[in-house]
Amino acid sequence: MGEYLFQYQKVDPTTWVYLSSLLTIGLFFKFSRVWSVRNLDLLGLIMLAPGLLMVEYGLIQSSPQIEQYGYVWLFVTGALFMIRLLLDPIMVRRPLLEPNLSPGAMTFLGVAAVLFLLANVLNSKTEPDDLIGVKSAEHVQSLESPEPGEEQDLAVHGPGYPLLHLLPTLSTQALMIDAHDTQQQRELGRDRVRVATARITAILSQLAIVTGMVLIGYRHFNNIRTGIAAATLYLLLPYSAQLSGRVGHVLPAALLVWAVVTYRRPFIAGVFIGLAISAIYYPVFLLPLWLGFYWQRGLLRFSLGVAVTVAISIASLAFISDSPASFWAYVQQMFGWTSLAPDRLEGFWGFGIIEPAYRYPVLVLLAAFCLSLAVWPAQKNLGTLLSCSAAVMLATQFWLPTGGGLYMAWYLPLMLLTIFRPNLEDRVALSVLGEGWFPKRKPKFGVVQAA
């Protein structure tokens, strides 16, 4: 950015925590209703920042104790938000609390925040974690086995579908690698391709998240200002500025947001959920909730969208495998088998705060909680879909073998939409879905009023 803005310097993460906290309070805090749930939600969002800072400071200073405190802070704050999200379905009375800024000014602030976020991605140092998916995709594409260290990294950093990372690589590879280059030049070119791949994927994912949140406000809340406010708050949060370039964070978040955008088209929503499952595996825990939502209407279409997408993902692995053993290894990596008992744990479970064996009871509780969402609440609406989806993706943080608590993008956009949403009790499958493959053309929803 310093090339375009005179003497511009990237804002330090700690400084941005202070600035974004003041902006959040000034823009969204309702001073006329100090003890409203909205204000408590804002304070909770601000309280996520100290955990992030402690983790980063511990890594920079090589202080495991401070890093450990950061993960504990994130787990405690996440547990409080879990309670908030599970109580959300019973909050029927939801006053329309708009931001303390005009719609035009809020839109201008949101656009400016998007531009600075994208500039932050382009100018940030690419971490090794950002390139794991790209390197794995290259190995799969060339039918090569990962090096010993890379294989271990892939197992530790969790499941995923490597070929999804090849999409932007195809468009940049020809621009950065020349067939006549020497071996050293070609290797440098491959490094540039990896960096460009991670950055392009992160930028497109961030744009998809912001656009999807605005569309949800416009199409499903009948209030575009609410969608803009939720998207702007997402951009202002310290997490968005600190970990904005992590592909494993933002790509699944974009897919989940667009599943909500297209919820009135069950097959397309199923495709997005299927892609999210293929990308990181953990959204598989969302299936009981979404199947319960579509149970009365749209169940077959949604299930078909998920099944077709996952089947195509698996079939493509068969085409690029050189043997049944390699195909089975790719499938195991895709569906999280390698993360059940990794050789190395990082983050909360890696410090020995609690015996790592307790991850398995946590997994059992997570599975039981997700299965219960198939029948509770009995009458599911769009509001339930938002809050419980955010709760499920937040609950997965307590199981992750590495970086648990840091993958906030998986649930933050959905949680922010839950915080800002109006009463959505009439947005049930029977009222928004047609009996055929297309939604009702003009669902008769009234303008959102203060409840």
Distance of CA 32 to the CA centre of its chain: 33
The pLDDT mean for the chain works out to 83
Kindly provide the b/e burial profile for residues 53-67, where b requires at least 16 CB atoms within 10 angstroms of the residue's own CB: bbbbbbeeeeeeebb
pLDDT of residue 419: 95
Q: Against a cut of 0.85, is the pTM above it? A: yes
Q: What is the pLDDT of residues 77-88, one digit of tens each?
A: 999 999 999 999
Q: What is the pLDDT of residues 287-331, one digit of tens each?
A: 999 999 999 999 999 999 999 999 998 888 887 777 788 788 778
Of 434, 438, 424, 442, the C-alpha closest to 385 is 424
Domain extents in the chain: 13-432
Predicted confidence band of residue 445 (pLDDT cuts 50, 70, 90):
low
Residue 404, judged by CB atoms within 10 A of its CB (0-12, 13-18, 19+), counts as: buried
Mean pLDDT value of segment 87-92: 90
Predicted confidence band of residue 174 (pLDDT cuts 50, 70, 90):
very low
Question: Which helix (H) or strand (E) is 55 found in, with range?
Answer: helix 37-60
Kindly provide the b/e burial profile for residues 311-327, where b requires at least 16 CB atoms within 10 angstroms of the residue's own CB: eebbeebeeebeeeebb
CA 149 to each of CA 146, 156, 287, 294: distance values in angstroms, whole numbers, following the listed order: 8, 11, 34, 44
pLDDT of residue 175: 34
Question: Which helix (H) or strand (E) is 179 found in, with range?
Answer: none
Most distant CA pair in the chain, distance: 68
Q: What is the pLDDT of residues 9-46, one digit of tens each?
A: 777 888 889 999 999 999 999 998 888 899 999 999 99
Q: What is the pLDDT of residues 194-230, one digit of tens each?
A: 777 778 888 999 999 999 999 999 999 999 999 999 9
Predicted confidence band of residue 67 (pLDDT cuts 50, 70, 90):
very high
pLDDT of residue 332: 80
Mean pLDDT value of segment 153-169: 56
Q: Which has more pLDDT, 441 or 390? A: 390
Q: Which has more pLDDT, 399 or 340? A: 399
Min mean pLDDT across 8-12, 280-284, 416-420 is at: 8-12
Min mean pLDDT across 132-136, 200-204, 357-361 is at: 132-136
pLDDT of residue 403: 85
Beta-carbon neighbour count of residue 354 at 10 Å?
Answer: 12
pLDDT at 424 over 90: yes
Q: What whole-number percentage of the chain has pLDDT above 70?
A: 79
Instruction: Name, in order, each residue with C-beta under 8 angstroms of 379's C-beta and a sequence gap of 6 or more.
Output: 428
Min mean pLDDT across 35-39, 118-122, 379-383 is at: 118-122
Q: Directed axis angle between helix 412-420 and helix 183-215, to 10°? A: 20
